Chain A
């Protein structure tokens, strides 16, 4: 162990801390590190494969003798499965295997709880044969009363989704309701409103699914997943295998957004079909199944009361939220601790309400976009009541050093001072512009388990091996950049192997933690491997390994003179590797726990400009400035693209997406991409991503996660911008023309009243 001083934070808010650096590991990157790769725009190492179509996704795989699986799903929102007759299906052309989704003994009593619940799966030689065979299965159902609507499910006497549980499952309240109410009652200004958000489906371009091949006693699995190791363990557990008998591979992945962990029902069915048929089976969900049964962001109804004193300081907030995750849970809405409410002024109570609809799954910043939609509009309403500029109001109530900087940057770039309507709705004509803002925070320093191995071969080849999957975030490129930085090479010089349970353990891609978890282990593995090259080269330089330095593809003795490789005795990377005593050397490292750092959370702010047609209620988002911190950013190009992706998904959630259920039949009416509307190119605003670098410390890299945070504030910023443009506030997502028109009419009514 050696002690070392590092400086963390960002210029203007620098902090010196002392950290212990274990033997054989590099000193942490900090504000003073001079990087040549990390923190620059690095093009994706697999970009060419993806845009040329050479990249093979799970969906693209076709193995010799492969069968095609399909799932039969309940057409009823609530029913008992009385009889399942597969005799005709089994005789259909090409059918090789049929497996039930539940124990045979359950037939007669098995309850299905949403339209889309799995009944059975079969595999046939072609997709068409599989589909015809599915249609030949005869199932007898006894239908039961059901409920698909949040408000209806809460009512006394509503049909119960689970036989022996009420639909409403209250969570543990937080804070003291009376105390908070007292404070709000005594406040100089108080506001009260109910906000609603809709159910959003994850809608990844690549649907859920697997290709599974029997492999001896075990299985070889290609999965469209966010967690190869969780698929491995889930399949092993379900099929009575040892984890090492199951190999899971995810080389390319077409999006997940939180819904792709573990094998899930379709993965287990696919594995069973493959074993039964003794052949590889591909089972990918179609778009309708994806909407019905592959997860969603629960809806919410949030009743909020808040108050502030005459100096514009927040005094209290009461939030009561309910939401439905269908047959699943997790409908809580986080109203995160962004602003400085006094601790005993906060009261929060939330409940999950079950309905007969597909189960929720974690979705990009679970609970946050919903909660922020309510919180940030509440903030604007308070500012309005106080007659304060909403930005000034936030400055008075946000002590976060990073966001305080970000507010200034964002305000300047959007033209807050000059372009915002001082009086909301002050413009003329039918097209009204306005500006609004909202903030975000996230927790993503990483730190769970991960192991990385870096091989350096005698010919100079560098191979980085890490089992976690790149789900499209650019994880592969980020860790290649880390190795390149450490070895003084270019990211394209590093061959990266990821997404394979045969490689070192890596976390599931959730909570924005994959890169911050894995990158430190990767750096330390690269460092360890580099030391081995230095050992081999030390004799040549007649120096000690620890005095060598690698940069710009060269190795030389660093004597502190500052002279570069060109002015001294040096070896090229290849020449140095040729001196290795063996074919290859390997550096390995496990993720160590985080130590002290600058912060545990990341910060961001977004400013949106919208244009509202006040005669039709149609909203266009003109521009979004998104200032976001992700700790020490490994690849700014990918960071900007993550931010843009978050904003686009936020716009889509704000204005369009909505899982629409028919209440009479309990079925989703828009399980496709025609009627389930997602923002397209013409709906995307100009996006100005601003990467706000913060050297975070905590580990040898100091990176923080970025996947989720940028989606959080967009809908709220848009809602606040609509208010600034029109003077009308929309309390419900999506903010479609009918809702905007209704809000405008209500405002008109108030005026004339």
Chain B
């Protein structure tokens, strides 16, 4: 359907004012940033908040800077286009710039904010349609499990719902060990490590992250790039004009000579949360970066995958892109998206 339901609207000028306007639950008040996700959900009548708090006038949330501690800090209102184009980001954390730049369309990237990208709802077509009363909307079943699931999760063990997390930046930020800074209604701030931010469907069926209704993301920080830290992001998609990933991956590691230190491998679009491939990381740590080792890491990255009826091919894709992304770290074969 095409028109929005009625709602109230506020446009605060500072993060503190914005946080003060937030309400006690999601049906009451929500943050409105670029609106790329929220307005669609409202038009589809998946959500119908009474009030929108437009934070686009909170200029204090628009910055990309590197602090003395070496950390890269990005304000919640920075757009995907700005991240993709930022020399600071591209130099220090190429995976993040690549993830932002390969998401969506140029027009969407100009509006879509980092905060919104992290908090957007999943793209499962059953969730997004009011015709399907699925688990996540309070219904009694996950239609994707037995239904049309070519784009759904492959790590499904123990998951009542098999969405994949939609955020591309979350994949890169998880590999980079980022933290999210949150301001809440009372004025208190807290910091949530990326690894603790997202919720699997077994942890929570209604929400995909730990934010409370009166939380406002103000900042995302990526710890100082240790010397020699490299990162790379690859996204595979059916269409080369905008398309959601079939599979995406971010890898980050330091290279000492040819030896891999502290590798992080995070699969996107594979599970209800960005999926850390711990076994593959463990295997690769302190080994030389060779085709064989990268390929082995690819195999290990999908260990434990339980694909659904239509998405077994995704397992193959992850093996390939994990290998390619790791090799791209060595400056070898350019990972192709």
Contact = CB atoms under 8 A, between A and B. Distances in A.
B175 interface: no
Interface string B1-24: 111110000000000000000000
Interface hub of A128, A288, A616, A742 (most chain B Cβ within 10 A) = A616
Given A662-B143, A664-B147, A736 B238 contact: yes
B316 A613 contact: no
A512 B79 CA distance: 46
Contacts of B5: 132
A127 B244 CA distance: 31
A515 B89 CA distance: 56
| B-side interface size class | 35 or more
Interface in B288-337: 310-313, 316-317, 320-321, 336
Interface stretch (B123-131, B201-209, B272-280): B123-131
B2 A131 contact: yes
Contacts of A244: none
Nearest to B321: A616
Interface stretch (A274-282, A400-408, A520-528, A672-680): A672-680
A544 interface: no
B313 A131 contact: no
A661 B131 CA distance: 13
B107 interface: no
B246 interface: yes
B131 A741 contact: no
Contacts of B320: 615-616
A662 B2 contact: no
B142 to A, nearest CB: 11
Given A664-B147, A738-B313, A127 B236 contact: no
A681 B241 contact: yes
B241 A128 contact: no
Nearest to B146: A664
A456 interface: no
B313 A741 contact: yes
Given A681-B241, A683-B239, A127 B3 contact: yes
B235 to A, nearest CB: 11
Interface in A693-733: none
A669 B148 contact: yes
A615 B4 CA distance: 44
Interface residues on A, range: 35 or more
Contact of B313 (A617, A661, A662): A617
Nearest to A129: B3
Contacts of B126: 662, 669
Contact of A660 (B2, B148, B236, B243): B148
A665 B313 CA distance: 25
Interface string B240-260: 111110100000000000000
A540 to B, nearest CB: 61
A667 B132 contact: yes
B62 interface: no
Contacts of B181: none
B129 A669 contact: yes
B123 to A, nearest CB: 8
B240 A663 contact: no
Given A664-B147, A665-B143, A669-B148, A680 B3 contact: no
Interface of A: 75, 115, 127-128, 131-132, 286, 288, 613, 615-618, 620, 655-656, 660-665, 667, 669-670, 674-675, 677, 679-683, 736-738, 741-742
Closest 4 CB pairs of A and B: A680-B241, A738-B313, A682-B240, A669-B125
Interface of B: 1-5, 123, 125-126, 129, 131-132, 143, 146-148, 150, 236-244, 246, 310-313, 316-317, 320-321, 336
Given A286-B2, A655-B238, 8 more contacts: A75-B131, A128-B4, A620-B240, A656-B239, A667-B129, A680-B240, A681-B241, A683-B239
